[in-house]
Amino acid sequence: MVSVRYYVHDVDTAIAFYTEHLGFQVDMHPAPAFAMLSRGELRLLLNTPGGGGGAGQPMPDGRLPEPGGWNRIQLEVEDLESEVERLRGAGLRFRNEIVIGIGGNQILLDDPSGNPVELFQSTRE
């Protein structure tokens, strides 16, 4: 199991996004500011900045963790074009169009807090 932590503006909105659109399941949601989701061997920890608990607390200089950035999780899909069409039909926002790469094709989907999720389809056999 690999764990990734994402900071989100609203945990309930993030739970709906990841479960309804990307096939995650809720493993734990003990507080409004935290949830643990999973998909296969990926555990996704969702926290709100400053929402209590250890991960959301301010740094010694006062900075709070925040959503967004460019680091991301990658989810493999079998048919990227169909996934993009389905997710666009649901009104979701992408950062770019499908990029054709050496080992596969990819696109960046933003979650409701602006965290990127890379959808990837391998072109290798």
Rounded average pLDDT over 99-105 = 92
CB 6 within 8 A of CB 15: no
Residue 109 CB coordination number (10 Å)? 23
Tokens representing 64?
Answer: 């709070």
pLDDT attached to residue 58: 84
Q: What is the pTM of this model?
A: 0.89
Closest CA to 72 of 17, 14, 122, 115: 115
pLDDT attached to residue 43: 98
Handedness of CA 117, 123, 124, 125 (dihedral sign): positive
Q: Which amino acid is at 4?
A: V
pLDDT digits (tens, 9 = 90+) for 41-93: 999 999 998 877 678 888 889 888 889 988 999 999 999 999 999 999 999 99
Separation CA 58–CA 36 (nearest Å): 21
Return mean pLDDT, the chain. 94
